[in-house]
Amino acid sequence: MPVFRLRNGVVGFPDPKLAEDDGLLAVGGDLSVDMLLLAYSNGIFPWFNEGDPVLWWCPHERFIIRPRNIHVSKSMRKFMRQHETYIMLNRDCADTMHRCRTKRELGEGTWITDDMEKAYNDLRKAGYAASVESYIDGERAGGLYGVCIGNNFFGESMFTDIENGSKLALIHVLHIRSQKCPEYFS
């Protein structure tokens, strides 16, 4: 199948079913709020390296966590009882995103480029991106950020500074979503 070329300023995608076996659908276009909202609404997301054109992906199979099916392990429940834990929503989405980036830059590399940080901050300003920051015993422990459209939360990245920091953020975001409370993310 062909990989489609997109033009800057033109909001639109080919049919997601036309993605390559590895999920690559299109190259080019821009990271405008309208383009990102259309992408996520169709199961498409951007993923590319610094200096490369935007690559748009739509894997045929996706990993989905259904909030009602979350299982918190005994050891994690014990950890949460033994420590003072809490989360904050949207305390500092830009910082959370940047921490996700810097945690990866030194290791496996990152797709969170300057352009991606700007694009997701624009999404946040438009009310479509959110962050969850976790705290353990008063210290910032970890966090995650993602895109919110309707009752769906599309997790983008997470980081951990203290053991279980990102797990705690994920557990809480899943608990919030299972309560069907999108207003927490507005």
pLDDT digits (tens, 9 = 90+) for 99-123: 999 887 766 667 888 999 999 999 9
Q: How far is CA 79 from CA 73, 75, 76, 131, 165, in A?
A: 10, 6, 5, 23, 11
Contact 148, 39 (CB under 8 A): no
Assigned CATH class of 72-185: alpha beta
How far is residue 159's CA from residue 76's CA, in Å, rounded to a whole number?
17
Contact 47, 57 (CB under 8 A): yes
Topology match between the domains 4-57 and 72-185: no
Assigned CATH topology for domain 4-57: Alpha-Beta Plaits (3.30.70)
Residue ranges of the domains in the chain?
4-57, 72-185
Which residue is listed with tokens 């999108």?
182
Q: What pTM did the predictor assign?
A: 0.86
**pLDDT (tens digit per residue) in 64-102:** 777 777 788 899 989 999 999 999 988 988 999 999 998
